[in-house]
Amino acid sequence: MGNRIVVPFGPPQHPVLPEPIHLDLVLEDERVVEAVPTIGYVHRGLEKLVEKRDFQDYVFIAERICGICSFTHSVTYCNAIEHIMGIEVPPRAQFIRTIWMEYSRMHSHLLWLGLAADAMGFENLFMNAWRLREEILDDMEATTGGRVIQGSCKVGGIRRDIGDEKLGEMVDHLKKIRPLLEESNRIFTHDQTVRHRMRGGLGTLTKEEAWDLGAVGPTARGSGCDMDVRSSGYSAYGGTRVQTGHPPPHGGLSGSLPRPLGRGARSSRPRRTCGGKDARRPCRRKGEGQSGWRVLCLLRTAPPWRVHALHKGQRQEEHRPPPVRTPTLTNIPPLVKMLAGIDLADVPVVVLTIDPCIGCAER
Amino acid sequence: MPLFTMVKRALANVTGKPATLMYPATPAKRYEGTRGHVVIAIEDCIYCGNCQRHCVSQAITVDRAARTWEIDRLRCIICGRCAEVCPKDCIFVEPDYHPSTTGPAVEFVQGPPPAPPKEEKKPKAEE
């Protein structure tokens, strides 16, 4: 048994980390015995800001909780307010929100798949994933007006409609992208480099551990928990065929890699069913807000994850900062568990498998 | 076999067209609905200050007495909320982005002097 030393991993910058998280790794020789995470480098106080802004303006701020999964945050916020005020959102708006959420999910997954490849040092694959992401972003920009910060959700509905013609174009475009996505997935599952890097069940979490430690989203699904917030049927997910559940085993590849793959594969499906389906009703409905009320709310997800929404409407005097809890926060305990017992050189790859979005986690 | 999964893609990338645009030579992609920057048709403005109150990033300043409308381009997040709340619909979001800058980017718009016949109501609101 060697001496134990503590190595700071990312204090808070580290080449592999897209965002600042600090891990104190207790090492015995090259082996990690324990990891102690620290967050708090990018806290922006966005929850506090909800007290100062009009509830309809806050949608834009809610969206900026994350710079990748932004649309989901605005929908979560709007859902919370609609729930408090009892506003019914027209079905077409629900469906269009769902389409955008799925697009958001796709580009978020692709971004993250790229980063995971980057963590392994597979730059070619990284660029490839981001190139595919760009295609998704193009459609996002054409329909919402923004590439990653969409700003197209509002309390009670959506700000922009998507014309039927454009919907058709989007479906055609997706059909074109799909084989490319599948090809990219195949590289992740079958390529020698990737398989070698993830060998020996690196970062595996058993189903029980994942459940006990509160893993959510793909981190939980990769461990075999059947957990997908879309199956709760929020927005228009009730009316679409969404495949939930954990990804099938990929060619004997064990460990943490099935997580990303499940994402990529699953993401390319549900949108087609959203297509031209629903009622041609107007997309907007004005929310009749009472001016004395402001809203405390929010708590939910980023695209790959589980929705967790707690809402609370209170009189202005009774304000408390609203709790926003994003999936990265709940995925940190599983991460710590995964890090125990692996080699120092594998830490970057394993950290990236939970899709660490620290900006979300700290708000 | 697993050694060559990436090769096909890599060869396609090497021989194919670049996925990126040669930006300054080729103009950036832009769509009809792209939110690029905010403009105002100052002649229609009634200086109510709604845009200023609702501006999420506090980029807009409206001075009713001096009849001016001011926007800090670097603060503006181009959410389009000002255009939405404008009672006269005189704020628009244009699809092209502002060129990058190193200095301050405050844009100052001076409104025309008030038209004489409309004066009956306006002075009251000003006081």
Question: Distance from B57 to chain A by nearest Cα, in Å?
Answer: 9
A5 occurs within a structural domain: no
Mean pLDDT of A276-303: 31
B68 occurs within a structural domain: yes
A245 occurs within a structural domain: yes
Instruction: Give the pLDDT of residue A243.
Output: 54
* Largest Cα span, chain B: 84
Backbone angles phi, psi at A358, to 5 degrees: -75, -30
b/e for A71-93, b at 16 or more Cβ within 10 A? bbbbbbbbbbbbebbebebbbbb
- Coil, strand, or helix at residue A282? coil
ipTM tops 0.85: no
Question: Distance from B7 to chain A by nearest Cα, in Å?
Answer: 10
B47 occurs within a structural domain: yes
Q: A27 vs A314, which has greater pLDDT?
A: A27
Q: pLDDT tens, A290-304?
A: 222 223 333 333 333
To the nearest whole percent, how much of chain A has pLDDT over 70?
73
The lowest-confidence range among A100-114, A257-271, A295-309 is A295-309
Separation of alpha carbons A120 and A122, rounded Å? 5
Q: pLDDT tens, A130-162?
A: 888 888 888 888 888 888 888 888 888 888 888
Q: With an 8 Å Cβ cutoff, is A289 touching chain B?
A: no
What are the chain B neighbours of A183 within 8 Å (beta carbons)?
A: 8-9
Q: Which of A110, A109, A22 is nearest to A347 (CA)?
A: A22
Instruction: Give the pLDDT of residue A223.
Output: 74
Which of A125, A145, A149 lies nearest to residue B6, judging by beta carbons? Answer: A125
Question: Distance from A18 to chain B by nearest Cα, in Å?
Answer: 22
What torsion do the CA atoms of B117, B123, B124, B127 make, to the nearest 10 degrees? Answer: 170
Question: Distance from B3 to chain A by nearest Cα, in Å?
Answer: 5
Q: pLDDT tens, B75-97?
A: 898 888 898 888 988 898 888 88
Q: Which of A257, A263, A254, A262 is nearest to A349 (CA)?
A: A257
- Yes or no, beta carbons of A124 and B80 under 8 Å apart: no
Question: Distance from A16 to chain B by nearest Cα, in Å?
Answer: 22
Instruction: Give the pLDDT of residue A274.
Output: 34
Q: How far is CA A219 from CA A109, A149, A340, B23, B36, in A?
A: 13, 25, 16, 38, 37
Residue A321: pLDDT band (50, 70, 90) is very low
Domain span at residue A70 reads 41-323
A350 occurs within a structural domain: no
B34 to chain A: closest CA residue: A145
A12 occurs within a structural domain: no
Per-residue pLDDT at A312 exceeds 60: no
Q: A47 vs A71, which has greater pLDDT?
A: A71
Mean pLDDT of A85-93: 84
A80 occurs within a structural domain: yes
Per-residue pLDDT at B38 exceeds 70: yes
Is the distance from CB of A32 to CB of A23 less than 8 angstroms? Answer: no
Mean pLDDT estimate for chain B: 81
Q: Tell me if the bond preceding B123 is cis, omega within 30° of 0.
A: no
Separation of alpha carbons B49 and A53, rounded Å? 16
Residue of A52, A54, A74 for testing the chain B interface, max B β-carbons within 10 Å: A54
Q: What domain count does chain A have? A: 1
B14 occurs within a structural domain: no
Residue of B1, B5, B51 for testing the chain A interface, max A β-carbons within 10 Å: B5
Instruction: Give the pLDDT of residue A305.
Output: 32
Mean pLDDT of B38-58: 88
Q: What's the token pair of residue B11?
A: 């060869």
A182 occurs within a structural domain: yes
Mean pLDDT of A280-299: 30
Helices (H), chain B: 5-15, 50-54, 81-85, 122-126
Question: Distance from A2 to chain B by nearest Cα, in Å?
Answer: 37
Q: With an 8 Å Cβ cutoff, is A57 touching chain B?
A: yes
CATH assignment of the domain containing A224: 1.10.645.10
Q: pLDDT tens, A40-56?
A: 788 888 777 777 778 88
To the nearest whole percent, how much of chain A has pLDDT over 90?
0
Domain span at residue B64 reads 42-112
A 143-182 near B (Cβ less than 8 A): 143-146, 149, 151, 159-160
Q: Which of A209, A215, A178 is nearest to A329 (CA)?
A: A215
Which of B8, B54, B79 lies nearest to residue A151, judging by beta carbons? Answer: B79
Is the distance from CB of A63 to CB of A148 less than 8 angstroms? Answer: no
A347 occurs within a structural domain: no
Q: What's the token pair of residue B61?
A: 């300043």
Query: H or E stretch including B93?
Result: strand B91-94
CATH assignment of the domain containing B100: 3.30.70.3270
B69 occurs within a structural domain: yes
Per-residue pLDDT at A260 exceeds 60: no
Residue A11: pLDDT band (50, 70, 90) is low
CB pairs under 8 A between A and B: 67
Q: What domain count does chain B have? A: 1
Question: Distance from A231 to chain B by nearest Cα, in Å?
Answer: 31
Q: B5 vs A350, which has greater pLDDT?
A: A350
B27 occurs within a structural domain: no
B84 to chain A: closest CA residue: A159
Q: A257 vs B52, which has greater pLDDT?
A: B52
- Spell out which chain B residues touch chain A, with contact meaning CB-CB distance below 8 angstroms: 1-3, 5-6, 8-10, 13, 19, 29, 31-35, 53-54, 56, 77-81, 84, 93
Residue A261: pLDDT band (50, 70, 90) is very low
- Yes or no, beta carbons of A141 and B5 under 8 Å apart: no
What are the chain A neighbours of B92 within 8 Å (beta carbons)?
A: none
Which of B31, B56, B78 lies nearest to residue A57, judging by beta carbons? Answer: B56
- Yes or no, beta carbons of B5 and A191 under 8 Å apart: yes
Instruction: Give the pLDDT of residue A297.
Output: 31
A302 occurs within a structural domain: yes
Q: What's the token pair of residue A43?
A: 């806290």
